Amino acid sequence: DEPSEWEKTELDQAQVEQRIKEYNRQINSNLFMSLNKDGSYTGFIKVQLKLVRPVSVPATKRVPSLQAGRPHPQGVKRRTSFYLPKGTVKHLHILSHTRASEVIDALLRKFTVIDNPRKFALFERSEKDEQVYLRKLGDDEQPLRLRLLAGPSEKVLSFILKENETGEVNWDAFSLPELHNFLLILQREEEEHVRRLRHRYAHCRQKMQEAL
């Protein structure tokens, strides 16, 4: 939960300018950082979305690349739930003072997700000594500053959007249409699991009968 030592580093204006020059020399794309006259800077961060539960979008919004849940039998006009594809990645152009909570808001707007932003959290991922570490960013932390301090290496630092897990799922935080869609999705998963089990036992039974 605690930031590492390099994340606590404070930079003066000259150090920021030097870090930006070093950062831009190391990247192999045009996603450069730029220093502004007021001392702030802008740049890009890449965020990978690793969401387990479906998200809600306006019912009139068509998202061909996503898996749609079947609508509730009584009809749900306000919203539709989707699973975001695994490995979904988004680049955001942000300011040095952009906060983690604002990054979450921006990502949800990009995908027209209308769920409460408090359901999500931004995490930093790092690799060290063949170990993977995850840390949830505080709302006021500045992802671009962390990107500058870490450099462009994704192993040293990458960003992930996940559900804001605090232990047990707080189902009261979801709307009725969302809960109905979750039940439908669970029902489909259960039916598929049962179908596979029946197929497996039928296959075993057939092999035994052939042996007999």
The predicted pLDDT at position 52 comes to 87
What distance in Å separates the CA atoms of residue 49 and residue 63, rounded to the nearest whole number? 16
pLDDT in tens, 20-38: 999 999 998 889 999 999 9
- Per DSSP, which regions of 67-165 are E strands? 67-68, 79-83, 88-95, 120-128, 131-136, 158-163
- Three-state DSSP at 93 gives strand
Mean of the per-residue pLDDT values for the chain? 85
The predicted pLDDT at position 189 comes to 83
What distance in Å separates the CA atoms of residue 185 and residue 56, rounded to the nearest whole number? 13
The predicted pLDDT at position 180 comes to 86
pLDDT in tens, 191-206: 888 988 999 899 999 9
Confidence grade of residue 106 (pLDDT, cut at 50, 70, 90): very high
Residue appearing with tokens 């075993």: 204
Which amino acid would we find at residue 102?
E
pLDDT in tens, 165-180: 755 566 777 788 878 8
What distance in Å separates the CA atoms of residue 123 and residue 87, rounded to the nearest whole number? 15
Does the pLDDT value for residue 68 go beyond 60? no
Does the pLDDT value for residue 103 go beyond 50? yes
Within 8 A by CB and 6+ apart from 81, the residues are 54, 55, 56, 57, 68, 69, 177, 178, 181, 182, 185
Give the H or E element holding residue 58. Answer: strand 55-58
> Has this prediction a pTM greater than 0.85?
no
Greater pLDDT, 2 or 13: 13
What distance in Å separates the CA atoms of residue 57 and residue 113, rounded to the nearest whole number? 5
Provide, rounded to the nearest whole percent, the portion of the chain with pLDDT above 70: 85
Confidence grade of residue 11 (pLDDT, cut at 50, 70, 90): confident
The predicted pLDDT at position 188 comes to 86
